[in-house]
Amino acid sequence: MQTRGLAATTATAVSKASVWNETSLLLLHDLFCSEIAANSISIEIGRTKIKESDLLMSIGSRKVYDRIRSDIHKNNKRV
């Protein structure tokens, strides 16, 4: 059973790595710079703003939202 969990974790890690490359991260930070700076994001704002980018639309609103929250969390740890 542990092997199955490990395989699922590995597949998830590979999936995340392939979605967030330099281009997608630059676009994400450009589009959501004010939200990241303000440490504030909602899924509704994310859904609305990603409509401006075909690349972010292809990634999906939930993944974009989760990535922004992760970046906000990392920024708060540095302070």
CA pair distance 76, 61, nearest whole angstrom: 23
CA pair distance 28, 23, nearest whole angstrom: 9
pTM of the model: 0.75
**What pLDDT score does 1 carry?**
46
Q: Note down pLDDT in tens along the chain; length 79 residues.
A: 444 555 554 455 545 668 999 999 999 999 999 999 999 999 999 999 999 999 999 999 999 999 999 999 998 888 6
